[in-house]
Homo-oligomer: A and B are copies of this chain.
Amino acid sequence: MSYNSFGHLFRFTTWGESHGPAIGAVVDGCPPGLALNEADIQPFLDARRPGQSKFTTQRQEPDQVRILSGVFEGKTTGTPISLMIDNVDQRSKDYSEVAQAYRPGHADYAYDAKYGFRDYRGGGRSSARETASRVAAGAVARLVIPEVTILAWVSAIGGDAIDMAHFDAAEIGRNPFFCPDAAAAARWEKLVDEARLAGSSLGAVVECVATGVPAGWGAPLYAKLDAELAHAMMGINAVKGVEIGDGFAAASLTGEGNADPMRPGGEGEGPEFLANHAGGIAGGISTGQPVVVRVAFKPTSSILTPMPTVTREGEATELRTKGRHDPCVGIRGVPVVEAMMALVLADQKLLHRGQCG
């Protein structure tokens, strides 16, 4: 039992609070001999980094990662890889209000109820800032699974979904929304800006696909690939739903409508599937098809509209969120979802190799 660790053989532990001196991750169980330096990690942190457009929080964090152990002469040694990211922009603001009253929708009350006490500065441990550690660890995980390509994008914001007929992977990097549909990106620009100016916030859906996962990763019954993915994704801040393949839509289908028939594949290959309702996983084990996950992010609870709440002493009050916040926290969730996908797959690859050699 580790409250702040994830994974089995490829396992990482994160630490750090929003307003402490630094955050970090310790990656344990990484195979030896992989070429690794900070430049392998930094681009993923840069993608997640706040303050890059007006559509994300204006907190300025360079998020420069340092590797403190586990690498020698440019290669992983098989020993723990300690990754550290300094916190730079902990703006010295007045937290007395948040210290005294519970922000609705945030973890303030729950933390106090659990620990009798909390680091209220910027959300403390429950801050989305912790996800930088996941992204750094995820970059290491990617090195373990070079056969896999992971791609995530935002598929809907505030209920406005992309049109898959217009899907263009190249578009994802061209707009501040990780949006693969140029027309949707244009609409979202207006939508998110309105929310931002109104001090409101919007929910979003992120979709992630991993191609190149061979058949056979995952394990019955309590280390199922889909169960591990659900755990990984639901543990991301602000996530309220996870789907594999068709997800909830499958609950409305018939067996015929949900079928994934097969036919012989190419020479030396597994079967070719004629559909992928299952999202690449059957019985908790990968089938060789693309692994498809969809994740629902709620709108951040940090809004300007005053909301009734209570103080630590249980008295009624009102609170409106000042400070810097993401109008749509799902947008910056894209690199985090990708990282968690990589972390789960790297772990499952090693587990499979361990048991089935």
Contacts and interface: CB of A to CB of B under 8 A. Distances in A.
A283 B107 contact: yes
A192 to B, nearest CB: 11
Contact of A82 (B15, B353, B355): B15
A291 interface: no
A194 to B, nearest CB: 10
A61 interface: no
Number of copies: 4
B241 A234 contact: no
Interface stretch (A50-58, A171-179, A298-306): A298-306
A106 B282 contact: yes
Nearest to A214: B113
Contact of A310 (B203, B227, B256, B263): B263
Nearest to A298: B250
The 4 A-B pairs at the shortest CB distance, nearest first, are namely A107-B283, A354-B354, A159-B252, A113-B215
B69 A20 contact: yes
- The listed residue with most B CB atoms (<10 A of its CB), out of A80, A109, A260, A274, is A80
A11 B16 contact: no
A219 interface: yes
28 contacts: A1-B8, A1-B9, A4-B221, A6-B222, A9-B355, A15-B82, A69-B125, A72-B124, A102-B262, A107-B220, A110-B281, A110-B282, A110-B283, A113-B288, A114-B219, A126-B221, A126-B283, A156-B251, A156-B252, A230-B242, A231-B231, A237-B283, A250-B298, A255-B299, A256-B305, A257-B299, A259-B301, A277-B298
Nearest to A125: B79
